[in-house]
């Protein structure tokens, strides 16, 4: 385990087994494997989340704007002003699909829905242990009680208890304008929501439009 967010590309050549956390590594899987000269087994966990909740997510480094959009997200680097130059939901999903179809991870990818992790953290721990032959100490639900390096506080958007029950955070009236805007400008988001199993059709969006004028966006 590492005290900061590192790319697997820089550590896969080290002796022993390692666990890295860097979401944008999904764009670097071929390069990571090229560095894998020791032919280690690469276990890849890909976190999925309702795109609508991602669209209304906030980050402490960007208090006055939504953190992630369909086409971009904010890039947050130490001692620098955040800029909207990081890949957004659509670019990330495209990379996930390309890696999935590439066959580069022959033992398969562990797709983990954020909603399942927050609602059933101990069940997820059991599944990870079984699928990847791992042994965990302590409860996943108690992770925030442990010692977490300062360098990871930012990537974790602060250290807090598991927040279950936020499956429809996007449906709050204050986010209506944001959701309508993003799904109107990027209609492919409808396909993504259905593909990931969060909706069966776009009826939810039609209902949102019928609710009337959206309320002003706020915190």
> DSSP string of 131-171?
HHT----S-GGGGGGS---GGGTTTTTS------S-TTGGG
* pLDDT reported for residue 111: 95
Q: What would the two tokens of residue 113 be?
A: 């829905």
* pLDDT reported for residue 22: 87
Q: What is the DSSP letter of 175?
A: G
> Do residues 4 and 152 make contact, with C-beta atoms less than 8 angstroms apart?
yes
Distance CA 147, CA 188 (A): 41
Residue with the larger pLDDT of the pair 116 and 161 = 116
The winner for highest mean pLDDT among 19-23, 55-59, 182-186 is: 182-186
pLDDT higher than 90, residue 155? no
Average pLDDT, the chain: 87
Please tell me whether residue 112 adopts helix, strand or coil conformation.
strand
pLDDT higher than 80, residue 18? yes
Annotate 191-207 with DSSP letters as a single string: HHHHHTTS-SSSHHHHH
Q: Model-level pTM greater than 0.85?
A: no
- Give me the mean pLDDT over the 166-173 stretch: 86
Distance CA 10, CA 60 (A): 28
């Amino acid at each position: 385990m590492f005290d900061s967010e590192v790319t697997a590309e820089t550590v896969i050549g080290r002796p022993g087994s390692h666990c890295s956390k860097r979401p944008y590594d999904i764009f670097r899987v071929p390069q990571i494997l090229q560095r894998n000269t020791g032919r280690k087994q690469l276990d890849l966990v890909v976190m999925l989340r309702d795109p609508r909740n991602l669209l209304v997510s906030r980050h402490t480094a960007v208090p006055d704007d939504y953190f992630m959009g369909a086409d971009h997200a904010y890039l947050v680097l130490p001692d620098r002003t955040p800029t909207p130059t990081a890949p957004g939901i659509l670019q990330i999903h495209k990379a996930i699909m390309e890696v999935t179809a590439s066959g580069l991870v022959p033992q398969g990818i562990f797709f983990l829905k954020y909603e399942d992790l927050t609602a059933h953290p101990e069940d997820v721990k059991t599944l990870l242990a079984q699928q990847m032959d791992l042994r965990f100490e302590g409860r996943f639900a108690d992770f925030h009680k442990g010692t977490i390096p300062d360098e990871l506080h930012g990537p974790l958007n602060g250290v807090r208890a598991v927040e279950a029950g936020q499956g429809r955070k996007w449906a709050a009236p204050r986010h209506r304008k944001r959701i309508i805007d993003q799904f109107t400008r990027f209609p492919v988001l409808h396909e993504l929501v259905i593909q990931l199993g969060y909706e069966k059709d776009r009826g939810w969006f039609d209902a949102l439009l019928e609710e009337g004028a959206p309320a002003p966006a706020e915190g």
